[in-house]
Structure 1
Amino acid sequence: MAIRAVVFDFGGVLFDWSPHHLYRKLIADDTQRQWFLDNICTQVWNTEQDAGRTLAEATRMLVALHPEHEVLIQAYYSRWHEMLRGTLDDGLELLTELHASEMPLFGLTNWSAETFPYALRRYSFLKCFRDIVVSGEVKQIKPDAAIYHTSVGRIRSHLSDIREHELVFIDDVAGNVDAATALGWQGIHHVSVENTRKQLRKLGVNV
């Protein structure tokens, strides 16, 4: 078995993204801020935008449910870029090494179609990827099997005879990795770059 392509998740692997980066500026108290993110602008709500719902629709819906929090809800997407603090340097170093070794690289990310262009404009390293499947663009989302099938199809437009077991997927969410391995991919649950390097080496990838 040889790995012929590496597929990267983005948030938590290459990008430092968190609503807390913004809401620390808006809600000083840690407990109150956590309550707001657990109960109002939740990850489940944000995931619907990653799956294709428009930001405007999502914001209108949530303001209608919680009008007392309108200002804070509106900030979620009007100031979304403040949640994207930058890159994770060690993850970016790994990506750069793989790219320099001419390993084919692909992206598979849960990300809104409306906010992803900001990252494309700002971060030139994304040009290292031969293709990037963005959940909000294809209106499919990890860990559903459909988005992995879409990803394989897109990868095969570059590497026509690649098989699932020749792909390795790196993601910081264990459930997303489990979904990939259930479909025959190799998978690495990213908890640290050091561990990910070890796992890649076990798969025969020179990093």
Structure 2
Amino acid sequence: MESLKNIVFDFGGVLIDWNPIYLYRDIFDTEEEMNHFLANVCRYDWNILQDAGRSLAEGTRILQAQHPEYREEIAMYYGSWDKMLGGTIEENIKLIKPLKEKYKVYGLTNWSAETIPIAMERYDFFKDLNGMVVSGAEKVIKPDPRLYHILLGRYEIQAGESLFIDDNYANIETAQQLGFQTIHLVDDANLEEILKAKAIL
């Protein structure tokens, strides 16, 4: 195994707690109504198209045309998007500075180019990163290997010298195929303990 030089973090579910429930639990009268809306209207596969570079305005307009009965609720998705931010995942955020003493630290995230500035303004950890690649700015999303190649090329780093941490296994699979060392961060996993067990931290 090549010596480790770089740590690459996914954001959502790893460093940032983001969930549409934080907004919509105050909008709908019942949890059942909210769950129906998120499962059938503002779905994951709709949101990911904005992460892939489609404008928020276009994504909103298309969905409102498909579901006019939810016009106002759909408008809130990006109109009140900041309310979906639950905060940082502090047990992982606290690892960035000690990791930076030994490695370069990067971000590789599926995120809209229009909403990432909101998170960047709110959370201080962004200034500690050596760089990041945001899918919405590049118009390509994980697990497409092209997004990983953008990271490698832009910062002139090698996959084999990099550890990629993500909570989505499909993204981990692509990283492994490209030669990254990986940690699939599952629920209740303790990242600090994992890194210490691997003698990385």
TM-score normalised by length of structure 2? 0.94
Output one character per residue of 1:146-194: Cα deviation in whole Å (capped at 9) or x when no partner.
10111111221xxxxx421110000011111111001111111012585
Partner of 2:10: 9
Q: How far apart, CA to CA, are the structure 2 residues paired with 1:5 and 1:203?
A: 14
Partner of 2:45: 44
SS in 2 for 1:10: coil
Partner of 2:181: 186
Contact 1:167–1:186 (Cα < 8 Å) also in 2: yes
The 10-residue stretch of structure 1 (22-31 or 5-14) with the greater mean CA deviation from structure 2: 22-31
Q: How far apart, CA to CA, are the structure 2 residues paired with 1:105 and 1:33?
A: 37
1:107 maps to 2:102: no
Mapping for residues 25-40 of structure 1, pairs under 5 Å:
25-40=26-41
Q: Considering only aligned residues, what root-mean-square deviation do their CA atoms show, in Å?
A: 1.5
Q: How far apart, CA to CA, are the structure 1 residues paired with 2:73 and 2:21?
A: 13
Output one character per residue of 1:103-147: Cα deviation in whole Å (capped at 9) or x when no partner.
210000000000001111221210111111000001110001110
Partner of 1:67: 68
Structure 1 residues not aligned, in runs of 5+: 157-161
Mapping for residues 89-168 of structure 1, pairs under 5 Å:
89-99=90-100, 101-156=101-156, 162-168=157-163
Distance 1:46 1:10, change over 3 A: same
Quick one: which amino acid aligns to residue 109 of structure 1? Answer: T
SS in 2 for 1:26: coil
Q: How far apart, CA to CA, are the structure 2 residues paired with 1:169 and 1:44?
A: 24
Output one character per residue of 1:40-95: Cα deviation in whole Å (capped at 9) or x when no partner.
00010000000000000000000011101001000000000000121111111122
Partner of 1:88: 89
Contact 2:92–2:192 (Cα < 8 Å) also in 1: no
Q: How far apart, CA to CA, are the structure 2 residues paired with 1:178 and 1:200?
A: 19
SS in 1 for 2:7: strand
Quick one: which amino acid aligns to residue 121 of structure 2? Answer: R
Superposed displacement of residue 29, structure 1: 1.1
Contact 1:108–1:132 (Cα < 8 Å) also in 2: yes
Contact 1:145–1:179 (Cα < 8 Å) also in 2: yes
Contact 1:91–1:193 (Cα < 8 Å) also in 2: no
The 10-residue stretch of structure 1 (51-60 or 162-171) with the greater mean CA deviation from structure 2: 162-171
Q: How far apart, CA to CA, are the structure 2 residues paired with 1:171 and 1:138?
A: 19
Quick one: which amino acid aligns to residue 114 of structure 1? Answer: E
Partner of 1:159: none
Quick one: which amino acid aligns to residue 91 of structure 1? Answer: N
Q: How far apart, CA to CA, are the structure 1 residues paired with 2:123 and 2:35?
A: 29
Superposed displacement of residue 202, structure 1: 4.9
Q: How far apart, CA to CA, are the structure 2 residues paired with 1:184 and 1:97?
A: 25
